[in-house]
Protein backbone atom coordinates (compact mmCIF):
# COMPACT_ATOMS: atom_id res chain seq x y z
CA UNK A 1 0.00 0.00 0.00
CA UNK A 2 1.15 3.53 -0.72
CA UNK A 3 2.08 5.63 2.25
CA UNK A 4 -0.08 8.53 3.31
CA UNK A 5 1.39 11.59 1.60
CA UNK A 6 0.57 13.67 4.67
CA UNK A 7 3.00 11.68 6.81
CA UNK A 8 5.99 13.62 8.07
CA UNK A 9 9.07 11.65 9.07
CA UNK A 10 10.65 13.07 12.20
CA UNK A 11 14.35 12.22 11.97
CA UNK A 12 14.63 12.61 15.75
CA UNK A 13 12.77 9.32 16.11
CA UNK A 14 15.33 7.43 14.02
CA UNK A 15 16.85 4.31 15.57
CA UNK A 16 20.24 5.79 14.74
CA UNK A 17 19.72 8.28 17.53
CA UNK A 18 20.09 5.45 20.05
CA UNK A 19 23.47 4.62 18.61
CA UNK A 20 24.64 8.16 19.33
CA UNK A 21 22.88 8.89 22.60
CA UNK A 22 22.35 5.36 23.97
CA UNK A 23 24.00 3.80 27.02
CA UNK A 24 27.74 3.20 26.97
CA UNK A 25 28.86 -0.28 26.14
CA UNK A 26 29.94 -2.29 29.20
CA UNK A 27 33.34 -3.06 27.71
CA UNK A 28 34.25 0.57 27.03
CA UNK A 29 37.51 1.55 28.73
CA UNK A 30 37.37 3.93 31.72
CA UNK A 31 37.30 7.60 30.74
CA UNK A 32 40.16 9.87 31.74
CA UNK A 33 39.16 12.57 34.21
CA UNK A 34 41.08 15.60 32.93
CA UNK A 35 38.76 16.44 30.06
CA UNK A 36 36.86 19.37 31.59
CA UNK A 37 38.17 21.90 29.05
CA UNK A 38 37.37 19.69 26.07
CA UNK A 39 33.92 18.99 27.47
CA UNK A 40 33.21 22.73 27.93
CA UNK A 41 34.34 23.42 24.36
CA UNK A 42 32.01 20.72 23.03
CA UNK A 43 29.10 22.08 25.08
CA UNK A 44 29.81 25.62 23.83
CA UNK A 45 29.93 24.52 20.17
CA UNK A 46 26.75 22.45 20.52
CA UNK A 47 24.98 25.37 22.20
CA UNK A 48 25.91 27.67 19.33
CA UNK A 49 24.68 25.12 16.77
CA UNK A 50 21.36 24.68 18.57
CA UNK A 51 20.96 28.44 18.91
CA UNK A 52 21.55 29.02 15.21
CA UNK A 53 19.41 26.06 14.22
CA UNK A 54 16.62 27.21 16.50
CA UNK A 55 16.66 30.70 15.01
CA UNK A 56 16.66 29.21 11.51
CA UNK A 57 13.67 27.00 12.28
CA UNK A 58 11.72 29.94 13.70
CA UNK A 59 12.43 31.88 10.49
CA UNK A 60 11.63 28.89 8.31
CA UNK A 61 8.30 28.16 9.99
CA UNK A 62 7.44 31.84 9.64
CA UNK A 63 7.97 31.33 5.90
CA UNK A 64 5.61 28.35 5.91
CA UNK A 65 2.98 30.31 7.83
CA UNK A 66 2.93 32.88 5.03
CA UNK A 67 1.93 30.33 2.40
CA UNK A 68 -1.71 30.03 1.35
CA UNK A 69 -2.79 26.56 2.45
CA UNK A 70 -6.03 25.31 0.94
CA UNK A 71 -6.99 21.71 1.45
CA UNK A 72 -9.37 20.04 -0.97
CA UNK A 73 -12.66 18.30 -0.39
CA UNK A 74 -12.25 14.51 -0.48
CA UNK A 75 -12.38 13.08 -3.98
CA UNK A 76 -15.07 10.68 -5.01
CA UNK A 77 -14.11 7.10 -4.04
CA UNK A 78 -11.97 5.42 -6.69
CA UNK A 79 -9.93 2.23 -6.77
CA UNK A 80 -6.23 2.88 -6.23
CA UNK A 81 -3.12 0.82 -6.70
CA UNK A 82 0.55 1.07 -5.78
CA UNK A 83 3.46 0.84 -8.21
CA UNK A 84 6.35 0.43 -5.83
CA UNK A 85 9.78 -0.66 -7.01
CA UNK A 86 8.89 -4.35 -7.11
CA UNK A 87 5.21 -4.19 -8.10
CA UNK A 88 3.92 -4.00 -11.67
CA UNK A 89 0.43 -3.34 -12.97
CA UNK A 90 -1.26 -3.92 -16.28
CA UNK A 91 -2.51 -0.60 -17.65
CA UNK A 92 -4.87 -1.97 -20.27
CA UNK A 93 -7.73 -0.66 -18.11
CA UNK A 94 -5.91 2.23 -16.46
CA UNK A 95 -9.07 4.34 -16.41
CA UNK A 96 -10.33 2.27 -13.46
CA UNK A 97 -7.03 2.10 -11.58
CA UNK A 98 -5.01 5.05 -10.31
CA UNK A 99 -1.29 4.39 -10.51
CA UNK A 100 0.86 5.73 -7.68
CA UNK A 101 4.19 5.04 -6.02
CA UNK A 102 5.86 5.68 -2.69
CA UNK A 103 8.92 6.74 -4.67
CA UNK A 104 7.30 9.26 -7.03
CA UNK A 105 5.63 12.47 -5.86
CA UNK A 106 3.16 13.97 -8.37
CA UNK A 107 2.42 17.68 -7.88
CA UNK A 108 -0.06 19.32 -10.27
CA UNK A 109 0.93 22.91 -11.11
CA UNK A 110 -1.77 25.36 -12.21
CA UNK A 111 -1.28 28.72 -13.92
CA UNK A 112 -4.51 30.59 -13.22
CA UNK A 113 -6.11 33.71 -14.65
CA UNK A 114 -6.97 35.99 -11.73
CA UNK A 115 -10.51 35.12 -10.59
CA UNK A 116 -13.10 37.90 -10.44
CA UNK A 117 -14.29 36.82 -6.96
CA UNK A 118 -13.73 34.21 -4.27
CA UNK A 119 -16.56 32.16 -5.76
CA UNK A 120 -15.04 32.37 -9.25
CA UNK A 121 -12.30 29.81 -9.95
CA UNK A 122 -10.99 31.70 -12.97
CA UNK A 123 -9.38 29.74 -15.79
CA UNK A 124 -6.33 27.51 -15.82
CA UNK A 125 -4.54 27.89 -19.14
CA UNK A 126 -1.48 26.11 -17.73
CA UNK A 127 -1.63 22.62 -16.24
CA UNK A 128 1.66 20.79 -15.70
CA UNK A 129 2.30 17.69 -13.62
CA UNK A 130 5.67 17.79 -11.85
CA UNK A 131 6.82 14.27 -10.92
CA UNK A 132 9.74 13.87 -8.52
CA UNK A 133 11.07 10.40 -9.32
CA UNK A 134 13.38 9.28 -6.53
CA UNK A 135 14.03 5.87 -8.09
CA UNK A 136 15.44 7.11 -11.40
CA UNK A 137 16.63 10.46 -9.98
CA UNK A 138 14.58 12.56 -12.39
CA UNK A 139 12.27 15.56 -12.42
CA UNK A 140 9.53 15.02 -15.01
CA UNK A 141 7.21 17.63 -16.50
CA UNK A 142 3.97 16.53 -18.16
CA UNK A 143 1.85 19.18 -19.93
CA UNK A 144 -1.86 18.74 -20.62
CA UNK A 145 -3.08 20.51 -23.78
CA UNK A 146 -5.90 22.78 -22.69
CA UNK A 147 -8.15 21.89 -25.67
CA UNK A 148 -7.99 18.15 -24.97
CA UNK A 149 -11.53 16.77 -24.96
CA UNK A 150 -12.18 14.75 -21.80
CA UNK A 151 -14.94 13.54 -19.50
CA UNK A 152 -15.32 15.94 -16.55
CA UNK A 153 -16.94 14.22 -13.53
CA UNK A 154 -20.45 15.62 -13.05
CA UNK A 155 -20.18 17.97 -16.04
CA UNK A 156 -20.10 15.75 -19.12
CA UNK A 157 -17.59 16.07 -21.94
CA UNK A 158 -15.63 19.28 -22.40
CA UNK A 159 -12.15 20.76 -22.83
CA UNK A 160 -9.83 19.81 -19.99
CA UNK A 161 -9.25 23.40 -18.83
CA UNK A 162 -13.01 23.79 -18.28
CA UNK A 163 -12.67 21.54 -15.22
CA UNK A 164 -10.84 24.33 -13.38
CA UNK A 165 -13.55 26.84 -14.30
CA UNK A 166 -16.30 24.49 -13.07
CA UNK A 167 -14.67 23.31 -9.86
CA UNK A 168 -11.14 24.65 -9.32
CA UNK A 169 -8.26 22.42 -8.29
CA UNK A 170 -10.44 19.63 -6.88
CA UNK A 171 -12.35 19.01 -10.10
CA UNK A 172 -9.24 19.42 -12.26
CA UNK A 173 -7.44 16.75 -10.24
CA UNK A 174 -10.46 14.43 -10.42
CA UNK A 175 -10.62 14.96 -14.19
CA UNK A 176 -6.96 14.17 -14.78
CA UNK A 177 -7.07 11.13 -12.50
CA UNK A 178 -10.24 9.68 -14.03
CA UNK A 179 -9.13 10.23 -17.63
CA UNK A 180 -5.41 9.44 -17.48
CA UNK A 181 -5.22 6.95 -14.58
CA UNK A 182 -2.42 8.75 -12.69
CA UNK A 183 -2.72 9.59 -8.97
CA UNK A 184 -2.15 13.28 -8.22
CA UNK A 185 -0.59 13.64 -4.75
CA UNK A 186 -0.55 17.42 -4.28
CA UNK A 187 -1.17 20.67 -6.14
CA UNK A 188 0.16 24.24 -6.28
CA UNK A 189 -1.53 27.21 -7.96
CA UNK A 190 -0.08 30.56 -9.01
CA UNK A 191 -2.20 33.18 -10.76
CA UNK A 192 -0.61 35.05 -13.64
CA UNK A 193 -0.16 38.32 -11.75
CA UNK A 194 1.67 36.41 -9.03
CA UNK A 195 3.69 34.57 -11.67
CA UNK A 196 5.39 37.86 -12.54
CA UNK A 197 6.28 38.38 -8.88
CA UNK A 198 7.66 34.82 -8.64
CA UNK A 199 10.01 35.54 -11.55
CA UNK A 200 11.04 38.85 -9.94
CA UNK A 201 11.70 37.05 -6.63
CA UNK A 202 14.05 34.76 -8.54
CA UNK A 203 15.88 37.79 -9.91
CA UNK A 204 14.52 37.19 -13.42
CA UNK A 205 15.65 34.36 -15.66
CA UNK A 206 18.42 34.02 -18.23
CA UNK A 207 17.15 31.99 -21.18
CA UNK A 208 17.92 31.33 -24.82
CA UNK A 209 15.10 32.44 -27.16
CA UNK A 210 14.55 32.47 -30.88
CA UNK A 211 14.42 35.76 -32.74
CA UNK A 212 10.68 35.36 -33.31
CA UNK A 213 10.05 34.68 -29.61
CA UNK A 214 11.90 37.88 -28.69
CA UNK A 215 9.92 39.88 -31.24
CA UNK A 216 6.67 38.38 -29.92
CA UNK A 217 7.47 39.52 -26.38
CA UNK A 218 8.30 43.03 -27.61
CA UNK A 219 5.09 43.14 -29.66
CA UNK A 220 2.97 42.22 -26.62
CA UNK A 221 4.71 44.90 -24.54
CA UNK A 222 3.97 47.43 -27.29
CA UNK A 223 0.34 46.41 -27.88
CA UNK A 224 -0.42 46.38 -24.14
CA UNK A 225 1.38 49.68 -23.40
CA UNK A 226 3.65 48.17 -20.74
CA UNK A 227 6.76 50.27 -21.29
CA UNK A 228 6.11 51.96 -17.95
CA UNK A 229 6.52 48.64 -16.06
CA UNK A 230 8.99 46.76 -18.26
CA UNK A 231 11.18 47.32 -21.33
CA UNK A 232 11.70 45.96 -24.82
CA UNK A 233 14.23 43.16 -25.18
CA UNK A 234 17.36 44.02 -27.09
CA UNK A 235 18.38 41.55 -29.76
CA UNK A 236 20.73 40.87 -32.66
CA UNK A 237 18.81 40.61 -35.93
CA UNK A 238 21.52 38.38 -37.42
CA UNK A 239 21.20 35.63 -34.78
CA UNK A 240 18.36 33.11 -34.90
CA UNK A 241 18.87 32.21 -31.19
CA UNK A 242 20.34 34.35 -28.41
CA UNK A 243 20.50 34.64 -24.63
CA UNK A 244 18.29 37.25 -22.98
CA UNK A 245 17.36 38.18 -19.41
CA UNK A 246 13.60 38.18 -18.76
CA UNK A 247 11.84 40.08 -16.01
CA UNK A 248 8.42 39.03 -14.74
CA UNK A 249 6.36 40.71 -17.47
CA UNK A 250 8.60 39.43 -20.25
CA UNK A 251 8.68 35.89 -18.86
CA UNK A 252 4.86 35.81 -18.67
CA UNK A 253 4.55 36.78 -22.34
CA UNK A 254 7.03 34.06 -23.23
CA UNK A 255 5.07 31.47 -21.22
CA UNK A 256 1.81 32.47 -22.96
CA UNK A 257 3.24 32.63 -26.48
CA UNK A 258 1.31 30.38 -28.87
CA UNK A 259 1.68 32.67 -31.87
CA UNK A 260 -0.88 35.07 -33.27
CA UNK A 261 -1.75 36.72 -36.56
CA UNK A 262 -2.04 40.51 -36.64
CA UNK A 263 -1.51 40.95 -32.91
CA UNK A 264 -3.35 44.06 -31.77
CA UNK A 265 -4.63 44.52 -35.31
CA UNK A 266 -1.11 45.14 -36.62
CA UNK A 267 -0.31 42.86 -39.62
CA UNK A 268 3.41 43.36 -38.93
CA UNK A 269 2.91 41.58 -35.61
CA UNK A 270 2.19 38.09 -36.97
CA UNK A 271 3.77 35.07 -35.35
CA UNK A 272 3.55 31.35 -36.00
CA UNK A 273 2.74 28.82 -33.30
CA UNK A 274 0.05 26.88 -31.46
CA UNK A 275 -0.75 25.53 -28.00
CA UNK A 276 1.80 22.73 -28.40
CA UNK A 277 4.47 25.40 -28.79
CA UNK A 278 3.17 27.26 -25.75
CA UNK A 279 3.25 24.23 -23.44
CA UNK A 280 6.75 23.47 -24.72
CA UNK A 281 7.81 27.01 -23.76
CA UNK A 282 6.27 26.63 -20.32
CA UNK A 283 8.21 23.43 -19.68
CA UNK A 284 11.36 25.06 -21.07
CA UNK A 285 10.93 27.99 -18.70
CA UNK A 286 10.58 25.70 -15.66
CA UNK A 287 13.60 23.65 -16.73
CA UNK A 288 15.67 26.79 -17.27
CA UNK A 289 14.77 28.13 -13.81
CA UNK A 290 15.73 24.81 -12.20
CA UNK A 291 19.00 24.72 -14.16
CA UNK A 292 19.83 28.27 -13.06
CA UNK A 293 19.11 27.37 -9.42
CA UNK A 294 21.25 24.26 -9.77
CA UNK A 295 24.19 26.33 -10.92
CA UNK A 296 23.88 29.34 -8.66
CA UNK A 297 21.68 28.80 -5.58
CA UNK A 298 22.59 27.62 -2.08
CA UNK A 299 20.07 26.20 0.40
CA UNK A 300 20.08 29.56 2.25
CA UNK A 301 19.23 31.37 -0.97
CA UNK A 302 16.46 28.88 -1.75
CA UNK A 303 14.86 29.51 1.66
CA UNK A 304 15.12 33.28 1.06
CA UNK A 305 13.39 32.87 -2.31
CA UNK A 306 10.71 30.70 -0.65
CA UNK A 307 10.08 33.55 1.80
CA UNK A 308 9.21 35.83 -1.13
CA UNK A 309 7.29 33.29 -3.16
CA UNK A 310 5.33 31.66 -0.31
CA UNK A 311 2.47 34.19 -0.12
CA UNK A 312 1.98 33.98 -3.90
CA UNK A 313 1.30 30.23 -3.96
CA UNK A 314 -1.88 28.37 -2.99
CA UNK A 315 -1.26 24.71 -2.19
CA UNK A 316 -2.35 21.72 -0.14
CA UNK A 317 1.26 20.85 0.67
CA UNK A 318 1.46 20.85 4.45
CA UNK A 319 4.34 22.08 6.61
CA UNK A 320 5.76 18.60 6.93
CA UNK A 321 5.62 18.10 3.16
CA UNK A 322 7.30 21.41 2.42
CA UNK A 323 9.94 20.91 5.11
CA UNK A 324 10.83 17.55 3.60
CA UNK A 325 10.94 18.96 0.05
CA UNK A 326 13.07 21.95 1.00
CA UNK A 327 15.48 19.83 3.04
CA UNK A 328 16.01 17.71 -0.09
CA UNK A 329 15.91 20.59 -2.56
CA UNK A 330 19.62 20.59 -3.30
CA UNK A 331 19.29 16.91 -4.23
CA UNK A 332 16.19 17.39 -6.36
CA UNK A 333 17.54 20.25 -8.45
CA UNK A 334 20.47 17.99 -9.32
CA UNK A 335 18.15 15.40 -10.88
CA UNK A 336 17.99 15.02 -14.66
CA UNK A 337 14.93 16.63 -16.26
CA UNK A 338 12.57 15.11 -18.82
CA UNK A 339 9.36 16.35 -20.41
CA UNK A 340 6.23 15.09 -22.13
CA UNK A 341 3.12 16.68 -23.67
CA UNK A 342 -0.29 14.96 -23.61
CA UNK A 343 -1.93 13.61 -25.65
CA UNK A 344 1.01 11.82 -27.24
CA UNK A 345 1.81 11.48 -30.93
CA UNK A 346 -0.32 9.05 -32.91
CA UNK A 347 -3.19 8.86 -30.41
CA UNK A 348 -5.19 12.02 -31.21
CA UNK A 349 -6.71 14.16 -33.95
CA UNK A 350 -8.32 17.56 -34.29
CA UNK A 351 -12.08 17.27 -33.94
CA UNK A 352 -15.23 19.35 -33.69
CA UNK A 353 -17.88 19.01 -30.99
CA UNK A 354 -21.61 19.08 -31.63
CA UNK A 355 -21.70 22.75 -30.63
CA UNK A 356 -18.87 23.68 -33.01
CA UNK A 357 -15.85 23.76 -30.66
CA UNK A 358 -12.47 22.85 -32.13
CA UNK A 359 -10.86 20.31 -29.80
CA UNK A 360 -8.07 17.78 -29.52
CA UNK A 361 -9.84 14.42 -29.64
CA UNK A 362 -8.10 11.33 -28.28
CA UNK A 363 -8.78 8.22 -30.38
CA UNK A 364 -6.58 5.81 -28.42
CA UNK A 365 -7.05 6.31 -24.69
CA UNK A 366 -5.22 3.11 -23.79
CA UNK A 367 -2.21 4.28 -25.79
CA UNK A 368 -2.15 7.67 -24.08
CA UNK A 369 -2.48 6.12 -20.62
CA UNK A 370 0.29 3.68 -21.40
CA UNK A 371 2.59 6.51 -22.56
CA UNK A 372 2.07 8.68 -19.49
CA UNK A 373 2.33 5.71 -17.10
CA UNK A 374 5.62 4.56 -18.62
CA UNK A 375 6.95 8.13 -18.63
CA UNK A 376 6.23 8.75 -14.95
CA UNK A 377 6.78 5.29 -13.44
CA UNK A 378 9.07 3.67 -16.05
CA UNK A 379 9.82 0.03 -15.13
CA UNK A 380 7.25 0.01 -12.31
CA UNK A 381 4.45 -0.53 -14.84
CA UNK A 382 4.01 -3.01 -17.65
CA UNK A 383 1.84 -2.72 -20.72
CA UNK A 384 -0.67 -5.39 -21.60
CA UNK A 385 -0.86 -7.22 -24.89
CA UNK A 386 -4.62 -6.90 -24.67
CA UNK A 387 -4.60 -3.12 -25.10
CA UNK A 388 -6.70 -2.06 -28.03
CA UNK A 389 -6.57 0.93 -30.34
CA UNK A 390 -10.04 2.01 -29.30
CA UNK A 391 -11.50 2.77 -25.90
CA UNK A 392 -15.05 3.37 -24.75
CA UNK A 393 -13.99 5.34 -21.66
CA UNK A 394 -13.22 8.61 -23.42
CA UNK A 395 -15.63 11.24 -24.82
CA UNK A 396 -16.64 11.24 -28.47
CA UNK A 397 -16.49 14.03 -31.06
CA UNK A 398 -17.48 14.51 -34.66
CA UNK A 399 -15.04 13.46 -37.37
| pLDDT value of position 72 | 79
Q: Return d(Cα 129, Cα 149) in angstroms, integer.
A: 18
What is the number of other CB atoms lying within 10 angstroms of the CB of residue 332? 18
pLDDT tens per residue, range 161-211: 999 999 999 999 999 999 999 999 999 998 877 888 889 988 999 999 999
Do the beta carbons of residue 111 and residue 126 sit within 8 Å?
Answer: yes
From start to end of 32-159, where are the E strands? Answer: 68-69, 104-112, 124-133, 138-144, 149-152, 156-159
Question: What average pLDDT does the structure give for the chain?
Answer: 77
List the single range of 44-58, 157-171, 246-260, 268-282 with lowest mean pLDDT: 44-58
Query: What count of Cα atoms within 13 Å lies in the side-chain half-sphere of residue 316?
Result: 18
Angle between helices 299-309 and 319-327 (to 10 degrees): 150
Q: pLDDT by residue (tens digit) across 313-331?
A: 889 988 788 778 877 877 8
Residue 114 has pLDDT above 70, yes or no: no
Distances (CA, A) of 214 to 10, 95, 102, 204, 270: 48, 41, 42, 16, 13
Among candidates 343, 311, 344, 300, which has minimal Cα distance to 62? 311
Residue 128: which of 358, 284, 261, 7 has the closest Cα? 284
d(CA 172, CA 163): 5
* Sequence-ordered strand ranges (E) for 113-231: 124-133, 138-144, 149-152, 156-159, 186-191, 205-210
The pLDDT tens digits of the residues spanning 215-271 come to 999 999 999 999 999 999 999 999 999 999 999 999 999 999 999 999 999 999 999
Lowest mean pLDDT among 41-45, 76-80, 107-111: 76-80
Q: Which residues contact 164 (CB under 8 A, 6 or more apart)?
A: 110, 112, 121, 122, 123, 124, 127, 171, 172
Amino acid sequence: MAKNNDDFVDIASSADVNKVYGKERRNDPPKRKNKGLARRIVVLVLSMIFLLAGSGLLFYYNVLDRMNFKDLEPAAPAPTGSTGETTTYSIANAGSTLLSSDNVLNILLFGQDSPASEQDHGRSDTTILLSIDNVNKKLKLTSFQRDTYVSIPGHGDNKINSAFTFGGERLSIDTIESNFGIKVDKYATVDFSSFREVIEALGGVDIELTLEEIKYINAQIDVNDQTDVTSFLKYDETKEKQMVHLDGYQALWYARDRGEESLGGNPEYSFSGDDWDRTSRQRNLIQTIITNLRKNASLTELVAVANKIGPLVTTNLKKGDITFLVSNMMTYIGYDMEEMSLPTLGHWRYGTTSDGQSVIAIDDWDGVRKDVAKFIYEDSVSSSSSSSKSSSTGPTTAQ
